[in-house]
Amino acid sequence: MRHAPQGAGSEAGEVAAESGGGGFGEPAVAGGADGPAGTARRAERSVDRQADRQAGKRAGAGGRTGHRPLYAALDLGTNNCRLLIAKPTAEGFRVVDAFSRIVRLGEGLGSRGQLSEAAMARTIEALKVCAAKIERRDVRRVRAVATEACRRAGNCGEFLARVERETGLVLEIIDGVEEARLALLGCAPLLDPEVPHALIFDIGGGSTEICWFEADAGRPLHQRTGRGNGAAHGASDGSGEGPGEGPGDALLRAWRSLPCGVVTLAEQHGGREVDGATYRAMVDEVLALLEDFEAEHRLGGLIRERAMQMVGTSGTVTTLAGIHKRLPRYDRSVIDGCFLDFDTAGAVTAELMALDYRARVAHPCIGPERADLVIAGCAILEAICRTWPVGRLRVADRGLREGILFTLMQAETPDPGAGRAGDGAGARA
């Protein structure tokens, strides 16, 4: 999928990096409350309720005929609110509209345990833009999901009710395994079928998702990940292991949702002025969170056998790649799908550590909205790459929203070739 570059904060859709950075030291490989079933039920209800709303609006307006149906995927994270609207094509799907805005919904959540009034107000204003786009485009089906900030907030119920009342959108809080499954679906076109295992990670604002996937070159991913909106099976405590009971789980070997992201880590350690000792403390904190996963699954052995590839989907890796390529402005068409060597990422991290906060604000690939988060992103990425020294990663400016679109289209498409994870979609209309 190739999006035209958008201006920062543009309501036409800022399809760009969120926040982050990355960097590495020496490699060191070690020796929803009711669970996914409840998540699947909530997903079905959420999609159906919003489909009913759209159908009612089309019927009231006399309906439209003779055009391909449109589908919408909305991802409300701790830091960003992002929307894609697309129509199915033979190659996958074509994006017809997009929107992204940094809302910092999880600002201060770590200390208060509640979403603040200011953060909720910012987020609802962004969601109103999304709702207007969905209505104007006559979207057939919508899935709107919320992740870590809403999973953790004590007042999330109040927030969700307010969102529905003020925007008409029904937000569904998904658990970590569903978040990992959708990100995997969205990134599938970037996987090398010749490498049997993949480690896919998503560095978010409030959490970091890690997913170990076993590839199967003989079968396209869209034929193996199930239909509809159900979550992959696994524990609901932030970790899980496959295969599960459904067709969507056979190759999702294990996943982990780490309780740290760029926002939470920056708020804990400071993000504006970060010295070397503070940066190392961030890295050590994340390394400790990864130790159990590596000790249990021993992915280091697969890495030594050259049987593991790595894909990173987050503003952390896209920002690093943009800085490395010296882009005068972030350009998704250049970044999505490119490769980033660990040594290169380490060199970019060193550059960022040498910049003060004002210089990071002025950087064209960072800007004022990410300048206090980029170092925290560096620390998380360094910990991941020190734990699993694959040597390089593939950069994905895609993920959860694309995964949602694939599942929505597959659920209504009898022809398995339509809505497939071919190349991740087409050009922006």
pLDDT, residue 261, reads 93
Q: Which domains does the chain have, with CATH numbers?
A: 35-176+401-412 (3.30.420.40), 188-398 (3.30.420.150)
Whether residue 159 is predicted with pLDDT greater than 60 in this model: the reply is yes
Tens of pLDDT, residue by residue over 194-220, are 999 999 999 988 889 999 988 754 444
Q: Mean of the pLDDT values across residues 399-404?
A: 93
Q: Which is more confidently placed, 10 or 85?
A: 85
Lowest-confidence range among 25-39, 91-105, 354-368, 375-389? 25-39
pLDDT tens digits along 232-263: 333 334 555 543 333 333 478 898 989 999 99
- The pLDDT value given to residue 53: 55
Each residue's pLDDT tens digit, 262-293: 999 999 999 999 999 999 999 999 999 999 99
For residues 257 and 212, what is the distance between their CA atoms, to the nearest angstrom? 12
Average pLDDT over residues 299-319: 94
Query: Could you tell me the pLDDT band of residue 314, with boundaries at 50, 70 and 90?
Result: confident
Predicted confidence band of residue 1 (pLDDT cuts 50, 70, 90): very low
Residue range 45-58: mean pLDDT, rounded = 53
- Read off the pLDDT of each residue in 339-363 and give the average, rounded to a whole number: 96
Residue 227 reports pLDDT greater than 80: no
pLDDT at 243: 39
Task: Report the pLDDT averaged over residues 135-150.
Answer: 94
DSSP 245: S
pLDDT tens digit sequence for 63-111: 443 477 999 999 999 889 999 999 998 888 999 999 999 999 999 888 8
Of residues 11 and 193, the one with the higher pLDDT is 193
Average pLDDT score over the chain: 79
pLDDT band for position 414 (cuts 50, 70, 90): low
pLDDT at 173 over 90: yes
Strand order in the sheet with 80-89: 92-102, 80-89, 71-76, 141-146, 171-173
- Looking at residue 39, its pLDDT comes to 42
Identify the pLDDT of residue 237.
42
Q: Which two tokens stand for residue 19?
A: 């926040």
Q: Identify the band that residue 229 occupies on the pLDDT scale cut at 50, 70 and 90.
A: very low
Q: Which residue has the higher pLDDT, 192 or 422?
A: 192
pLDDT 10s digits, 331-350: 889 999 999 999 999 999 99
Helix or strand or coil: residue 304?
helix
